[in-house]
Structure 1
Amino acid sequence: MLDIAKIRADFPILSRKVNGHPLVYFDNAATSQTPTQVIDCIVNYYQHYNANIHRGVHTLSQEATDAYEYARDVICRHFNAKHREEIIFTSGTTHGINLVANGYVSLLNKGDEVIVSALEHHSNIVPWQMLCEKTGAKLKVIPMTDAGELDYAAYKNLVSENTKLVFVNHVSNALGTINPIKEIIELAHTYNAEVLIDGAQAAPHIQADVQALDVDYYVVSAHKMCGPTGVGVLYGKKASLEKLPPYQGGGEMIDQVTFEKTTYAGLPHKFEAGTPNICGGIAFGRAIEYLHEIGFDEIAQYEDELLQYATQELLKIEGLKIYGTAPEKTAVISFNIEGLHPYDIGTIVDKLGIAVRTGHHCAQPIMDYYKIPGTVRASFSFYNTKEEIDDLVKAVKRAKIMLA
């Protein structure tokens, strides 16, 4: 059992008011809030050992390097990577995806095929479209069902000897659907295709074991996991990363530089050009430690209780429809009320102190499938409560009356 009152005390922002009302934060799928333990880690870095890493013999540089590489080890253990050099620090999920896509420009040929799913965030669609435009490869799409699940039978018919890459999110940011990624990976591997999983939405709720999944690439962002913005991780199998060319040129990623020729550093530095977000990486490690202190199994169980309760209570509102009804979901509810625009609902509930997301959630193909402009999305975290869900229900009812 989680001590929710104690957990909420770790998050200073939850004590503030918005428009004269206590803040109810239900936009966790966009970014989670940050606990004092991570904030203190950030402050401690800048107050006591702010220095560049890997390049100095002085004490501050060594301390910063040790803290940064310790965070890499924390992340490596969390995802159960086989080698610490398989953990590449990035600016976030989008950066990690583009790093891989850029590397494949020199590895794909005309007639090769890449597969994405209909449930993807734009950041897991656009880079692959750009890759296909550059290489002449063909992009194929796994269709979705009315319940917001992937059509696995259709996927089985799409994958072939021409398939070189498959890209699927672990969890849909717009609908909360948990995709059967292990099965997707296994089938792709029978055709010697590599698989990249966008784990941004899964990582706060599910501890992915990259070795058990046998996934080739897995990408996440710290700001979804109680960490800071502007930092994330690309996990890649060592052999997969070694065959990719560097994404950026500069300091840190080199071995030897002459005007005649440059040779590159080994993993992970080959993909970490320039001064990184040192503080962000250190704080990401502390955020993961904090989540483990809470307990991932406990988080999953409690958030599922919130999801079931919110689903039950919201469906009592006449005219309300939930999009994404897969039996396997994380704590995300996307909904609309018949005849009302989601933006208008979101604006009114904000006046009552409740933060939800409205729009297409950077998943426009999903909205096109349902023939809607967008949804209201309420996404829950382990520091939320059923009482806050009651406040949301009351606010939505009030919005419905006001907009009628």
Structure 2
Amino acid sequence: MSKDSELARGRGKKTFLYRQFADIIRKEIEDGKYLPGERLPSMDDLSVRYNLNKITVRRSLQELADAGLLYSVPAQGTFVSEFSGATKLSETAQSSDILNIGLISNVLIPGSTGPYHMSVLEGIRSEIGRHDANFILLPAPGSRERKEILKMIHGANLSGVIYMGPVPQSFLEQLIKDGPPSIVVDYHFHGLAADVVQADNREGGFIALKALIDKGCKKIAIIAGDREQSATHDRLDGVKAALNAFGIGVDTVPVEYSDFQINGGYEAMSKLASDMPDGVFCMNDEMALGACRFLKESLGDNFIDKVSVVGFDDINWAPLVHPALSTVSIDKEAMGRIIAKRLFERIENPEIPRCVTLMPPSFISRETL
């Protein structure tokens, strides 16, 4: 039987050719035909062997690279990652009596770990300590290649993994499928086959806007976070729901996107100042602190007489700054404890139903409202 006959072609096919071909290569890797570190045949050879054009082959190989199974070396070719589906990560973890729990996140990079994540980490750490398990932090900057992250997971002999924050979707799906029991924090998409714990961002956005409206603000503006993060979209959905509930046109409320950092909040507020609002919702406390700094420089220490500011997260700084920040509060340490408890339950019984846990928000009114 020719290689070409393994592919279903024509209008009756149920799956795109590039996905069929990706599945064939994936199975060959899992079956050990291509070993870790081994170079695949060239795209020209694969095109001829399977009667496919090179665009289809390239797309298939890219999908497998996104899943962490392949990586490319310029001028050398495409290679099988040192981790593949043929060796489950969870198998290596079973040889140890002491559980190793790993946390993988790009927010652990120096300069990126803000007070919100530090509080969540403290909750995770305290619960893991109660189980006498090892807690291993594995920073994963976005620039690090997927094969390197897979090496970290494999080398740490992990019994369970906590993924905090955004991870490329296809990559995360493959890690969950082939890796040890896992839980995802503050990131969710349809069809994710893992337990998720996150703040109820939509409800938080709603109550933040409601607080400004109840205050009597007539000219509200939004300082949003990174466009690529799901938390930004969820909080914005809550904002829109509040505007609709109070009969305020969504198009009348300007939105300035930023980066969840203090300086980003300062710069966003400076852009909004050309048509100064009387109420501002910042999608985290750090941006709110930056916005308050700009308002204090522009309007003076009593800026709160003219502009109300609401943040999100209730970080440790929020009640200590002057003026004290009004904000949406999430019990971050409780969130961390729930994350760890859920992972230990999953390790003990992998068959329990998966669930999404939303941490309920509350509103704390301080001097900026």
**Is the structural similarity TM-score above 0.5?**
no
TM (normalized to structure 2)?
0.33
Larger radius of gyration: 2
TM (normalized to structure 1)?
0.31
Structure with higher RCO (Cα < 8 A, 6+ apart):
1
